[in-house]
Amino acid sequence: MKNRTLAMVLSAMMILSLAACGQPAADTSSASAASEAAAAVSEAEEDASEAEEAAAEEAVSEAEAAEEVASETEQEAEEMAETLPGGWQKPESPVITDEIRAVVEKALDELVGASYIPVAYIGTQLVSGRNYAILCRTAPVVPDAVETYAIVYIYEDLDGNAKLTDVRDFGVETNINELAGGWRQAEDPTVTEDLAAIFAAATEELLGVDYTPAALLGTQVVNGTNYCFLCEAAVVAPGAAAEYKLVYVNQDSAGNVTLGEVVDLVPAEEA
């Protein structure tokens, strides 16, 4: 486009020059040549303007595309940064769906001697298949057994076969008894905006550690409501690893929030 425009401008200039040299003012052929030259110059200027506009539009388009790619990359990095202790990814929801429940049942189908009740889906890891980390209520199948919280790790291959790979029992009692006035497992472990606000109000004075609620495990109706949250806690320092804790919170009938017990979840073999 630029070469063509330059050629037309030079041609127009030559025509104008020839028309101006040695030709009578009344010569109609000279007037025609001058008119054609002027038209050529105008067309050349128009082509040059269009080329500049096209180049500008292309530059803007490329800049917008680069900005979009950068934004997507930043978003992906933020999502990847939201990892659980041990480097696993957070699932979109802690809810135990029918699909997750089916995976647990397949993995524990031949396991005897203990009961496992899934409470919250807390971790996932894509491999050749998928790994699952699921918080469960577990207890030996014996009379008056004490029920504790444990993370059950399950691997599901690409053919849908599932197997238990590890159990990290924390030895922390669940308190769930389903009795009137007792602790009940939350029907939905999702931490809603209202629950997040209650949790934030209760933990606002816990300085030096960031607490992030991951799931609501249980509730108890007393003078208001007691809540038991599974949360991730990390010391406010670069590269600090997160750990799981149970955080108990009470909201009284007037809406006042107070912090209860904070329980470290340490595997029994490490305690």
CA terminus-to-terminus distance, the chain: 77
Note down the domain range covering 240: 184-264
Same domain, 126 and 145: yes
Same domain, 74 and 10: yes
Of 81, 109, 134, the one marking the end of a domain is 81
Q: pLDDT, tens digit, for every residue of 223-262?
A: 899 999 999 988 877 777 788 999 999 999 999 999 999 9
In a domain, residue 221? The reply is yes
pLDDT of residue 41: 54
Q: How far, in Å, CA of 255 to CA of 160, rounded?
A: 47
In a domain, residue 271? The reply is no
Which residue in this structure is represented by tokens 């269009």? 50
Q: How far, in Å, CA of 162 to CA of 110, rounded?
A: 11
pLDDT of residue 106: 94
Same domain, 161 and 188: no
In a domain, residue 90? The reply is no
Same domain, 222 and 252: yes
The total number of residues shown for the chain amounts to 271
Beta bridge partners, 227, equal 219, 249
pLDDT of residue 2: 44
In a domain, residue 215? The reply is yes
In a domain, residue 92? The reply is no
Which residue in this structure is represented by tokens 């308190």? 175
In a domain, residue 86? The reply is no
Q: Which two tokens stand for residue 43?
A: 């067309």
In a domain, residue 71? The reply is yes
Same domain, 120 and 75: no
pLDDT of residue 145: 86
Q: What's the structural domain count of the chain?
A: 3
pLDDT of residue 29: 53
In a domain, residue 68? The reply is yes
Q: At 70, which helix (H) or strand (E)? A: helix 28-81
| pTM beyond 0.85 | no
Low-confidence ranges of the chain (pLDDT < 70): 1-45, 47-49, 51, 55-56, 59-60, 63-87, 268-271
Q: Fill in the amino acid letter for 151.
A: I
Of 173, 194, 229, the one marking the end of a domain is 173
Q: Fill in the amino acid letter for 120.
A: A
